[in-house]
Chains A and B, each alone.
Chain A
């Protein structure tokens, strides 16, 4: 075996508030493993992305193998394994948004941010040099009536036009 095992230098642990929430979470399910998704969301909120230390910690907490955690993290696109910008911009590009010119919005964002679109295995590609924004395409955000839409972190922005994008970026940058 040529590869050495990874050494985790700074172990991860929940902060007090998240620990409290985690304790509450775990009581909701008859098996610990079921708390996987909410626990990973908690951990990601704390660290920004899922590091090997997080995976190890979550595996220990839920009494499953590390691989199970890795398995889940790579399956769901909402979990990141790489650092992302402060603002994660998710641009919906599924049919109803495509019919309402989401391409224009996406191209405009690309041009404005000066970055490419992140892929699931390469988030760095879509992150701005200052680490402020990460631009990614996502599938339907279930807001087809107000298409085209983008989601910035948790907030939905509706009926977008290049002008509205400019306004939004200006607000976020300040």
Chain B
């Protein structure tokens, strides 16, 4: 049995940890004080880079590397904290905001010190009314205690934090969508380059970080890089010569929901398998695992053959999926994958910002196709390929075989791939929302094709037994191509 390793969530359930005094009792702000007292800003940036911390928001980009792209000579520079948690299946940030907002503030302070930032905007989901209330109260307290504002604790450091409410648009979780929204416009993502690190909010260099990423900073500073890198695997990417280390360090707030007995947030080392995770979350609710979504609804689905895939950034990328925001949704044998895909496609069709053509009109199209299949109106055709040969009656004649063509499944795959191609990982859209749409569409369809075919054949939703519904591993496009990395330590 795997044990939780609570670091970010360690004191989450301490009563009144949201108040400054209690937070202070549990080492609150000491890590920030240590940062100022013992390190230069450059040292902190170096520590973050060395720690191998990867952004927890979805893309999994190295935080230290991102910081290194920020030009040092352009001021002001801004920090935008992404608290627009809206990926279905993800809910870890909400608990931080509601229960332990001072931890986030401390993380922000460390980032601001390292990057010479004086203004931070926390873009918080409009629906998080309680979270915003708690956060605002904590910010107010921090101002009163002299941890925010001008000349913090006599160090000459100035940091202002403002919370900025969103208004219910998923796309504002995309970093440039967030920036546009913060500027008071529609949350339509910008073209990249320029990346926000160079030209972000108010056309100034901007660091955009997820809540969870920022909350990791106090612990990296407080306990040191060495302590941090012990947690989680570091792989050797043997496609490079010499092998390139690929760190998946630290803990991850895995959000487990769906068919498990005890859904919730579990803080665990990166690199556990789905089976282990389900066990931690009180075991499966049901007989058999049919599928696991490993990183929020936009991540490609894993079949029961792929449950041994380790849930970390590298392993999931190599398994043609992604860890994303760590929102794990488990489905048992009673679930119909067509129905699940329909639910997800409705979500994306509703949340597409409508800025660029492929996504604006492609996403609802994909939804409509899935809807049609689910309604039992999926198109199928039986064709006979003519072939000249000895027929049954012993004479020369047509010996063609009949083949069933599932027109709508091909159409679904083609349309989704035209928005963003999951095989080549190229997208025709402005932002990665495109791939977030086609990833589930194509992966569900390919990996659970028998269930889709049965649904079209029968003209109604048909839930097949797990073994029948799933494409066998040897035919699973992702399973075939997956690349199992050797652990760095083994070299």
| Chain B binds chain A | yes
Q: Which of B88, B126, B259 contacts A139 (CB 8 A)?
A: B88
Q: Are A99 and B329 in contact (CB under 8 A)?
A: yes
Q: Are B130 and A37 in contact (CB under 8 A)?
A: no
Given A78-B126, A98-B343, A151-B127, answer yes or no on A36-B185 (Cβ-Cβ < 8 Å): yes
Q: Are A141 and B127 in contact (CB under 8 A)?
A: yes
In whole angstroms, what is the CA distance A138 to B344 when docked?
Answer: 13
Within 8 A of B (CB), among A88-115: 90, 93-96, 98-100
Which bracket fits the contact residues of A?
35 or more
CB B87 to nearest CB in A, in angstroms, measures 7
Q: List residues of chain B with CB within 8 A of the CB of A146.
A: 263
- Which residue of A is nearest B93, CB measured? A142
* A62 within 8 Å of B (CB atoms): yes
From B164, B170, B255, B293, residue with most partner A Cβ within 10 Å: B164
Q: Are B167 and A37 in contact (CB under 8 A)?
A: yes
* B264 within 8 Å of A (CB atoms): yes
Q: List residues of chain A with CB within 8 A of the CB of B344.
A: 94-95
In whole angstroms, what is the CA distance A162 to B382 when docked?
Answer: 46
Q: Are B202 and A145 in contact (CB under 8 A)?
A: no
Q: Are B185 and A94 in contact (CB under 8 A)?
A: no
In whole angstroms, what is the CA distance A38 to B258 when docked?
Answer: 34
CB A29 to nearest CB in B, in angstroms, measures 8
Q: Are B258 and A96 in contact (CB under 8 A)?
A: yes
Q: List residues of chain B with CB within 8 A of the CB of A30.
A: 202
Given A34-B182, A72-B184, A140-B347, answer yes or no on A78-B86 (Cβ-Cβ < 8 Å): no
In whole angstroms, what is the CA distance A60 to B229 when docked?
Answer: 53
Q: Which of B85, B130, B347, B353 contacts A156 (CB 8 A)?
A: B130
Given A78-B168, A140-B87, answer yes or no on A94-B162 (Cβ-Cβ < 8 Å): no
Given A37-B181, A142-B125, A144-B89, answer yes or no on A94-B347 (Cβ-Cβ < 8 Å): yes
Q: List residues of chain A with CB within 8 A of the CB of B88.
A: 94-96, 139-140, 144
Q: List residues of chain B with CB within 8 A of the CB of A64.
A: 184
- Which residue of B is nearest A154, CB measured? B129
CB B8 to nearest CB in A, in angstroms, measures 16
Q: List residues of chain A with CB within 8 A of the CB of B85.
A: 142
* B367 within 8 Å of A (CB atoms): no
Given A142-B125, A144-B89, answer yes or no on A77-B169 (Cβ-Cβ < 8 Å): yes
Chain B contacts to A: CB under 8 angstroms: 85-91, 93-94, 125-130, 160, 162, 164-170, 181-187, 202, 255-259, 263-265, 293, 297, 327, 329, 331, 335, 340, 343-344, 347, 350-351, 353
Chain A contacts to B: CB under 8 angstroms: 28-31, 33-38, 40-41, 62, 64, 68, 71-72, 75-79, 90, 93-96, 98-100, 138-147, 151, 153-156
19 residue pairs from A and B, CB less than 8 Å apart: A31-B202, A33-B185, A36-B185, A37-B167, A37-B184, A78-B166, A94-B344, A95-B340, A96-B257, A138-B168, A140-B88, A140-B90, A140-B347, A142-B125, A142-B128, A144-B263, A144-B329, A145-B263, A155-B130
